Chains A and B, each alone.
Chain A
Amino acid sequence: MTKTDFPPSILSRPTYGVLSPRPGPAHLLIADGAGAGAVLDLLGAADAGMAGGSHLIYLPGPDGTDRTAELAALALAQFHRAPSFAAALPRLRKVLGDAHMGVQIYLAGSEGLIGQAQREVMEAGLPHDAVQTEHRGSWVRRVQCVHCKGITENVATDPFLCSHCGLALFVRDHYSRRIAAFQGVNIDAEDPGSVPPPVEKFR
């Protein structure tokens, strides 16, 4: 088990649990990278019947981890390997729109994947308690620049340069579920030019 232990933080910072099988007519699983391990553990712990009611959407992780072959071997009712979250989105929205009462949703992998998938679930109007999450693998963050509003994916260092406007941003733990991102704030606003060297904080 590679369950992540995050250091204590502020109340807007998301926390994650461990996936566990729940009874339901249908199971939607969305995972990236090392989240494959959580999916394998989940199905290993479940009744034999769960695989026949499961739809898994899987994409490679931000660190390149790709366990497609192991997941394909699970023989789920539906398995889709997408190259990116953006590419998976039309399918995900269709599946969420078609979902019936009682569907169980399982999200596993990076924070960016979990946050964006959770936002889609919320926007589809599905109940919050139908969703379980488990973080695995990379800690890289999805960060919104509070100044230009652009989102930089896979941020590993603090500070970092906004990929849209180029400002040097420090990464807060303050997190918006609606935007599915942490907040980045200009670090040298008061003393332009004095940017401390970036430290790799989120691997």
Chain B
Amino acid sequence: MGLTFKDETFREDFTFFNSPAAIRRFPFPFPEDSYMYSVNMEPHVPGRPGSVFEKTFDVDEHYVAEMRERARVLAEDPLRCQSLPHMTLAGWDLLELIMEAKAREYPDWFSLQRDGNRWHWINRPLEIEQTFTFLDETTLPCGPMEYITRQTQGDFSLQDQRNDNLWMDAGMVTTQADWSLDFDLGMNFFEWHAPVPLAHEKQIFTRALKFLMNVQHGAPARRFNWTMTIDPLLDTSPENYPKWGPSRATLTPENVGRRMHLRVELQTFFRLPRSNALAFPIRCYLIRFEELATQPKWARRLHRVIRDLPDELAAYKGFLRNKPIMVDYLAQFDDGTPTSPGWWAD
């Protein structure tokens, strides 16, 4: 594993960037030249070697820096990680799922040894070694969901399934696209998606819920979502909106390539075996427009997607005021030639 974990920041001086290898493996979320909501689910099975789909939980060059950033967010606001009392078992399910997958798929970095319920976990990149008793909370420094998600990139929500609905009853949310776990905790699937425009009318959430309630243990699923973020800011929380909101008024034609980032969520869905809860990891990948423009197909396609996106969606995603600057910048990469099918770079 010849990967070096970068020392970089997601706030203040914003030293985050993608290496050429990270750009090439970036999960570009648009399979066509236009975008509208869809359920767009597919089985979460191992994908192309080197891609973000190769492993169950992708670990990339940003891992250590992202975990450091998560610890800072939690120190500033502990409400970003919450679990209602009945969700502890689901937290253990999640811990087991992640530890087993990482130890199996990244043996150079992670190791899990089990002697009955006595478990020994080693996380070499983060220099963590822990012996604990599975299902005994007193043997970990914090709850099981918090423990393992402090060591795993992406946000996590744990959904309890009851009364023909999914209830967001636990989560670790520090890299979110402007939604509040603290406010939405305990809501059902329709309630926490309530503010999304256009999608309810298209029955998107009714169909998505039906699909998700039928996700079986051992057969996870995945889909993409996306938005835009100025500067590589992972924590675009509503809580901190007064701190990061002003940046939206500072975009110019001169800095858009450097400061505007496509923000992609790789959402995966796992049925958990003991609790029957649904684990919903939301992994965030950021790429600045300049980096994206190194792949001609992506730049051409992104120009068309953003140019033709309904204003209602651009407003919901928070970039309506900057859409003209973004479209003007991307237009220079669009010579009008067709793009090849699918989202992989040419």
Contact = CB atoms under 8 A, between A and B. Distances in A.
A146 B179 CA distance: 10
A3 interface: no
Contacts of A174: 183, 194-195
A191 B185 CA distance: 30
B72 interface: no
Contacts of B183: 144, 146, 174, 176, 179, 183
9 contacts: A12-B190, A12-B194, A146-B180, A146-B183, A167-B242, A173-B194, A178-B187, A186-B245, A189-B242
B191 A189 contact: no
Interface in A1-58: 10-13
Contacts of B184: 176
Q: How large is the interface on B (under 10, 10 to 19, 20 to 34, 35 or more residues)?
A: 20 to 34
A56 to B, nearest CB: 29
A185 interface: yes
Nearest to B195: A174
Nearest to B245: A189
A98 interface: no
Given A147-B242, A186-B242, A189-B242, A172 B182 contact: no
Query: Top 8 A-B pairs ranked by shortest CB distance?
Result: A189-B245, A12-B194, A10-B194, A178-B186, A12-B191, A11-B194, A190-B245, A146-B238
A189 B246 contact: yes
A12 B184 CA distance: 10
Given A11-B200, A147-B242, A179-B183, 18 more contacts: A11-B193, A12-B187, A12-B190, A12-B191, A146-B183, A147-B241, A167-B242, A173-B194, A174-B194, A176-B186, A177-B186, A178-B186, A185-B238, A186-B241, A186-B242, A190-B249, A191-B249, A192-B246
A125 to B, nearest CB: 11
Interface of B: 79, 180, 182-187, 190-195, 200, 238-242, 245-246, 248-249, 321
Interface residues of A, number: 23
Contacts of B242: 147, 167, 186, 189
Contacts of A177: 186-187
B64 to A, nearest CB: 30
A179 B82 CA distance: 14
Contacts of A190: 245-246, 248-249, 321
Interface string A154-186: 000000000000010000111011110001011
A86 B119 CA distance: 47
A91 interface: no
Contacts of B321: 190
A183 B180 contact: yes
Contact of B185 (A178, A185, A186): A178
A150 to B, nearest CB: 13
